[in-house]
A and B are shown apart, each in its own frame.
Chain A
Amino acid sequence: MATPKKDTLLDWYRQMVLIRRFEERCAELYQQGLIGGFLHLYIGQEATGVGAVAALRENDHVITAYRDHGIALARGLDPKAVMAEMLGKRTGVSGGKGGSMHLADRERHFWGGYGIVGGHLPLAAGIALAAQYEEKDEVVLALMGDGATNIGYFHESLNLSAVWKLPVVWLIENNQYGMGTSVERASGAKELVRRALAYSSEDGSGMKMGPRIDGMDVLAVHDAVSEAIEHARKHGPILIESLTYRLEGHSMGDPQRYRTKEEVESFVESGPIGRFRQVLIDKYKGVESTLDKIDEEALQAVEDAVEFAQNSEDPTYEDLISHVYVD
């Protein structure tokens, strides 16, 4: 795998910082009562989302669960329209009707965040089927949390993808907890990627078991997902697992009784953004000032997004009743 160019790496750094600042601001807005419903932050998992989405071509597809802000921003959705969705405005990516869990952008082949655990997995299979049916050279990246691997949808969707050789990369973002229940308390297989073996044969046909990757290392994620995408494009489905950690609660208001402060702190030190920043500093002499500038610009972009959202119109009665059906 060729090492990406400096501009590309800096852009990944920009995306990761943007996501972090965006999420921190969302937390504040939630506490101020400006964001309602559930709010699941992507803080800690930025390297996985950015590295994975960066491996896609423009006409490839991505779909995820409800922890979707980072994926949306990585896929290039305008932070203004994403923030407007958080605030329930009609300028939001889903017109204020989806909220935090239901961001999407058809034009960018971002098929959405989905609030039902595992509910999007069969949709991913269907989107891949459409690509295969129409003989398009397109791959679907389907992200899910570790919790989704225990639900029936996971089994049915991965099995069907193996039977039909669908071009899907199934990517488990293993952030160690399904809500408050740790992986070893919820799953028979501690190494979740081993579940691929259930859909593969001794002769190598069926689902490919991909690697478990360091999900805090954006370069490692990008390499592994790039290889997985190539496999999916040529041969069919593959399951990979990214080991990551969410530094905040499952959603806002999570008392986090299931883990210690020390555990969380240990991951703060090895956090994906600090780590990548150090990689860039070691690799490119004098890059600090550029990185600082990117940091400032990210902060500003988020503030602009908040301002845009706050100045946007609320949805109307017409919005309430529109798009239930195709007219």
Chain B
Amino acid sequence: MADRPITIREALSAALREEMQRDERVFIMGEEVGVWGGTYAVTRGFLDEFGAKRVRDTPIAEMVIAGSAVGAAMAGLRPVAELMTINFAFLALDAIVNHMAKVRYMFNGQFTVPMVIRTTTGGGKQLGATHSHAPEVLFAHFPGMYVAVPGTAYDAKGMLKASIRDDNPVLFVEHSTMLQRRSPVPDDPDFVLPIGKSDIKREGDDVTIVTFGKGLEWSMAAAEQLEKDGIEAEIVDLRWLRPLDLEPVFESFKKTNRCVVVEESLPMFSVGAEVAAQLQNEMFDYMDAPVKRVAAMDNPLPYSREIELMALPDAQKIVAAVKEVV
């Protein structure tokens, strides 16, 4: 079947629909998934198609959305729970960290937790300090769960299907400003991407840019500008923060000897910090320059547009960081 350009929103919707058609145990629950059709319209039409048993609106109550999905998964269902934004996942932190990620280990493998929590991330929408976090790295701190951070429609579909089919719990993080981005995606209902594999999104010999999610878009734009200056950037899209696959980063680094890490998260204790530490351990002999990090400012995000954008990464900041190391 031919690949067809669709949006990330359509890719997510297709992945959910196909997996619900494939497996009766898969159901969706969460904030406004049913009557509303999803606050980002990913599940529009699902209530009519699958009925109220499998498309379950919940109260706005994140602790029990996450926690009851854990219980349902332990008991054999395959819930896909939706939290409107990752900012609200802080309320469910205990259910996610202490229960979703730990019940299997704590009870010595007696329980499996085949569930997905879908949520959206990111700033840049003038929503103020509490609604603009991009804290997915926080959740990648904990063993026992996976963290997916797709940046294209192709990845969104293949990774969501993989997450639903896998027996481990996944926090699946979609960027709220990227849902209209379009790319070719296979129609094949068995198109599934492997879990924990990063992907080279652009080849180049001069610098390795490591990124994910919204960072991919900024990095691709930066690479175009750099190309005009004769600098070829190789872009590694991590796609998953856990399992974290840095092998392609190491391979790329052997060639470029330079690395810039781009992310929307806050800079301290970040993906950039982790990648820099691992490069320094594994690739010290290949290192021709310090690893640079481009992240959000170490500051809360404000409402007013100009100063919000000032605090976020963009292509210009990436270009500047690359030029410091090449």
Q: A residues engaging B (CB < 8 A)?
A: 61, 94-98, 102, 104-106, 111-112, 114, 116, 119, 121-131, 133-134, 152-153, 156-157, 159-160, 163-164, 319, 322-326
Contacts and interface: CB of A to CB of B under 8 A. Distances in A.
A94, A96, A319, A326: most-surrounded residue (chain B CB, <10 A): A326
17 contacts: A97-B107, A122-B68, A125-B71, A126-B67, A126-B70, A126-B79, A127-B71, A127-B74, A130-B72, A131-B75, A133-B72, A153-B67, A157-B67, A163-B59, A164-B56, A322-B109, A325-B168
Interface stretch (B95-103, B200-208, B276-284): B95-103
B75 A127 contact: yes
Given A94-B107, A98-B108, A119 B76 contact: no
Q: How large is the interface on B (under 10, 10 to 19, 20 to 34, 35 or more residues)?
A: 35 or more
A183 B253 CA distance: 61
B61, B75, B111: most-surrounded residue (chain A CB, <10 A): B75
Contacts of A157: 64, 67-68
B105 A159 contact: no
Given A97-B108, A121-B67, A129 B59 contact: no
Given A119-B98, A126-B67, A97 B74 contact: no
Interface in B50-78: 53, 56, 58-59, 61, 63-64, 66-77
Given A102-B106, A324-B105, A326-B104, A126 B69 contact: yes
The 4 A-B pairs of least Cβ separation, nearest first, read: A126-B71, A122-B67, A95-B108, A130-B75
Nearest to B77: A130
A83 to B, nearest CB: 16
Given A112-B106, A129-B75, A130-B72, 10 more contacts: A111-B74, A112-B107, A119-B95, A119-B98, A124-B71, A126-B70, A130-B75, A156-B59, A160-B59, A160-B61
A122 B76 contact: no
Given A94-B106, A97-B106, A98-B107, A152 B63 contact: yes
Contacts, number: 135
Contacts of A153: 63-64, 67
A323 B68 contact: no
Interface of B: 27, 53, 56, 58-59, 61, 63-64, 66-77, 79, 94-95, 98-99, 103-112, 143-144, 166-168
A102 B71 CA distance: 16
Contacts of B103: 112, 123
Contact of A325 (B75, B76, B99, B144): B144
Nearest to B107: A104
B109 A125 contact: no
Contact of B77 (A98, A125, A129, A326): A129
Contacts of A102: 106-107
Contacts of B112: 326
A94 B108 contact: yes
B107 A129 contact: no
A326 B107 contact: no
B104 A129 contact: no
Contacts of A61: 75
A128, A129, A134: most-surrounded residue (chain B CB, <10 A): A129
Given A94-B108, A124-B71, A129-B71, A156 B61 contact: yes
B152 to A, nearest CB: 26
A196 to B, nearest CB: 17
